[in-house]
Structure 1
Amino acid sequence: MKRLTAIYHMLTRVLYGIASFALTVISLAMIGVAGFDVWHAAEASEPLKYAMLDGIGLVVVSLAVFDVAKYLMEEEVLRDRELRSASEARETLTKFFVIIIIAVTLEALIFVLGAASKNLSLLVYPAILFGVASLMMVSLALYLRLSSQAEEQLPSA
């Protein structure tokens, strides 16, 4: 049974490593596409403002994808032990959730800049996205508060 468990753990590490590598490649490709789109707009003598805003949005998403890839590599592949305590689990989940919150907030900011330059009535959608990001932050704070209180009530081992 120990051998089967060891094989399973090795397989999961390999799969997480492959996923992390694939996400890193996708992230780099997105940055390349963003640069290409801006270059193409400049070559075609199109207004650069919209191409640059789209490029910034793509780079922001690519950084969020890269952060997820980094998280997978650090937490699932390179980490030599499983989560042993509630505080470790809370810390890991917090890192991951913060990555998502940052990506959503940055995307909302990019949408605000794009909407403000096109049509002010479009500002409703980025405002909703900012609201979602705020709710995510409040949810994370509530989770941290409740989980730390629950951990304090656990008997010490």
Structure 2
Amino acid sequence: MSLFIRAVFAIAACALMAVAAVLMTYAPYSVITHALAEGTPLHTPLLEVVGYLIVAIALFDVAKYFFEEEVPAGREKRTPSDTRRGLTKFLSTIVIALFLEALVLVFETAREDPAHIVYPALLVAAACATLLALGLFQRLSAATEKEVGPEPEDEVAEGSPQASTKRPLASRDTNG
């Protein structure tokens, strides 16, 4: 079952990268076609391109996260610090994308219809709430790791490739 799950994550990551590549190639194309059309102001397609690129980068980073955290074999026995670092990288990407998209929406809304500025403002508030939640998670998980203590080293023969890997706290031998 583990092989199947890893394969599903690998396929999903490849699909996300393909969508990101299409968005990254479509964005400049849309600016060029809008720039060549007569009477079209250039600022509108440029802001749209920024939105496309933000989404593409976020998708690419999520796919990278899947390849780094979910696809490799032997990652089932993660330490709490590994999980914290992985989740932090993932959520940081999402928060950055939210802030950038909110910024683009603020500019678009301010030009087109300032009465609807509340929606981009709510997106900024959601990004702030996500960032605060990430900070709280970091603080609580780091405090818990300090209470539990450092992670023990594997007792593997010196010189082997596994000598520097760590094992979960639950599998620690209490007799020595």
After TM superposition, the score normalised by the length of structure 1 is 0.87
| Corresponding residue pairs, total | 150
Mean Cα displacement is larger for which, 37-46 or 65-74?
37-46
> CA offset at residue 61 of structure 1?
0.6
Matched residue, 1:147: 141
Structure of higher CA gyration radius? 2
| CA displacement, residues 34-90 of structure 1 (integer Å, 9 cap, x when unaligned) | 222212211212211111111110111111011101111111124643343211111
Q: Does 1:16 align with 2:17?
A: no
> CA offset at residue 155 of structure 1?
5.7
Q: Does 1:62 align with 2:56?
A: yes
Unaligned runs of 5+ in 2: 151-168, 170-176
Unaligned runs of 5+ in 1: 1-7
Matched residue, 2:164: none
Q: Does 1:104 align with 2:98?
A: yes
After TM superposition, the score normalised by the length of structure 2 is 0.78
The alignment partner of 2:88 has SS state of helix
Q: 1:110 and 1:43 mapped to 2: Cα distance?
A: 23
Q: Which of 37, 44, 53 is 1:50 aligned to?
A: 44
Mean Cα displacement is larger for which, 14-23 or 146-155?
146-155
For the aligned residue pairs, the C-alpha RMSD in angstroms reads 1.7
The alignment partner of 2:53 has SS state of helix
Q: 1:54 and 1:78 mapped to 2: Cα distance?
A: 36
Q: Which protein has the bigger helix share?
A: 1
Q: Is the 8 A contact 1:83 1:89 kept in 2?
A: no
Q: Does 1:30 align with 2:23?
A: yes
Quick one: higher RCO (CA 8 Å, sep 6+), 1 or 2? 1
Q: 1:83 and 1:133 mapped to 2: Cα distance?
A: 31
Q: Match for 2:36: what amino acid?
A: E
After the TM superposition, which segments of 4 or more aligned residues of structure 1 sit over 3 Å from their partners?
none
Q: 1:37 and 1:155 mapped to 2: Cα distance?
A: 54
